[in-house]
Chain A
Amino acid sequence: MNYLPLTEQDRQEMLQEIGVRNFDELIRVIPEKLRLKDLNLPSGTNELDLTRELRELASQNQSTAQVLSFLGGGYYEHFIPSIVNHIISRSEFYTAYTPYQAEASQGTLQTVFEYQSMIAELTGMDISNASNYDGASATAEAALLSLRHTGRNKILIAKTLHPEYRETIKTYCFGLHFEIKEIGCDPQGKLNREDLDRELKEDVASLIVGNPNFFGLVEDYSGVAQKIHNVGALFIMSVNPLSLGLFKSPGEWGADIAVGEGQSLGIPMSLGGPGLGFFAVKRDLLRKIPGRLVGMTKDRNGRRCFALTLQAREQHIRREKAGSNICTNHALLALAACVYMAAMGKEGIRKVAEYNVRSSVYLREQIAKIKGFEIPFKGTIFNEFVVKCTKKSPEEINKKLFAQNIFGGIELGRFYPELKDSLLICTTETKTKAELDRFIDAMRSL
């Protein structure tokens, strides 16, 4: 179909129909100062010139392709095998919408089913949904589930959970009448158990923690699930899936819900999205999970097939009583994660996790030796850690590092005013020993 722009006559007819004289009258409810007056656009140009100009504009961007980056904090630079992009770019998959029709979408449904199976296995849970939008919204959905399931109205959230996830939970649940209580951290940067014991009562719906937590620390959650279950609440863990190649899974810690950001599984950082929220539960919460779910079954001729299932939970059937408004998923990104996990295999994921630990432990050890830097939290880490800057401010350090083509670390003061002298530094399997040493030298020479 051709694109048919409106004619002046069309406009006049529409304005007349609405009962206004001109366009300005139509938009007069918008305050004067907010209206765009002069866009100051140049006149039209040819494709060649346009491409040249845009390329020049784009070249002003500084990305991890040119700059040595030690940024983490929820989105991570990982190696993505080329097979991921090749598979997800196939036109059969690269389509716009969720497959409703099982008879026409067996391939897509099978990939979703396999994604779910692998996420369930990785997290040590029984069932995974077909994915949510991102780690933050998946975590917020988990909070909602716990309120529905327990009929209570208080949620405990570790202060060490990703600050933006905490914000999202608050935004997501705005208008629902319940209370959020933050559980502080101890001097080691971990969940404050005394705080938890004090707050954990029969009115609590759930405890939400991150693992690794926002400071990069992989925590020991021994006994936590038991305590939470004793008061009839749910244990929700927001985890980095890649770390599970090496560390205990939410299932092993006794969690009821495992959620998190799946960007580490074969999805580029882009500009901070789109991401992939994963959501997995123990069997008894099966009918409470939000979003799509693909099941495996047999057709009437006894052949294996796949179909969306348990839809009676969902909004299009349960209407206003549905547990969640999420009626779709991030199918293409879930496919990327699926291909990544299949390509890497159990061994591969374990090896990548090992590289991450080795790289970050080495970097932390070396930075600890440099004057002007201290390591406040000494626990087990996966791929990032906190560095306290005792001589120069994090802002100044980042500025100087950037002059050497290095993205230093996340300035923690943005999220934790009490840590305004600290940086969160990340390294993954993408960094060579030489690159780590270049960073260490740069830090030393500040």
Chain B
Amino acid sequence: MTRRSMNFPTDLKYSKTHEWSRQVGPKVVVGITEYAQKELSDVVFVELPKMGQEVKQGVACCIVESVKAAFDIYAPISGKVVEVNKKLESDPGLVNRDPYGEGWFFAITPSNLNELNNLLPSSGYEVLLTQGAK
């Protein structure tokens, strides 16, 4: 599949490190992009952040492990972890099957919503990918 045919919903914000962020009321829900899950291949384990953990924008806060490798997931926004997707513990494959839906990782109550402005819109993220993602 080419990048062009991948799905990057326009209502989400994107990090250069391939996380997406969705603002839902007072919370920001975080997951990884379709591109990221494809690069990872089959996800076998997600080490979620702890509930109540303080996270900082751009700092690693959890780990996703596939049959190929293990990668850090970076918090797209600073704040406190208020929800984690427990379903990933028993079914990590959700990250591959539904990266923008059931495969979400955690939700943060942001300490500074303005930080969302540091993230990319879907068009900007697609440009990043065509330029050669890291």
Contacts and interface: CB of A to CB of B under 8 A. Distances in A.
Given A312-B65, A312-B66, A287 B72 contact: no
B69 A317 contact: yes
A318 B65 CA distance: 10
In this complex, the interface size class of chain A, counting residues with CB under 8 Å from chain B, is under 10
Contacts of B47: 287
A329 B72 CA distance: 27
Nearest to A288: B47
Q: Which of A287, A312, A318, A321 gathers most chain B CB within 10 Å? A: A312
A388 interface: no
Interface in B8-62: 44-45, 47
A87 to B, nearest CB: 34
Interface in B44-91: 44-45, 47, 65-66, 68-70, 72
A431 interface: no
Contacts of A312: 44-45, 65-66, 68-70
B45 A287 contact: yes
A321 B72 contact: yes
Nearest to B50: A151
Given A312-B44, A312-B68, 14 more contacts: A287-B45, A287-B47, A287-B65, A312-B45, A312-B65, A312-B66, A312-B69, A312-B70, A313-B70, A317-B69, A317-B70, A318-B70, A321-B70, A321-B72
Interface string B93-120: 0000000000000000000000000000
Interface in A81-105: none
Nearest to A286: B45
Interface in A284-303: 287
Contacts of A313: 70
Nearest to B69: A317
A285 to B, nearest CB: 12
Contacts of A317: 69-70
Contacts of A321: 70, 72
A202 to B, nearest CB: 14
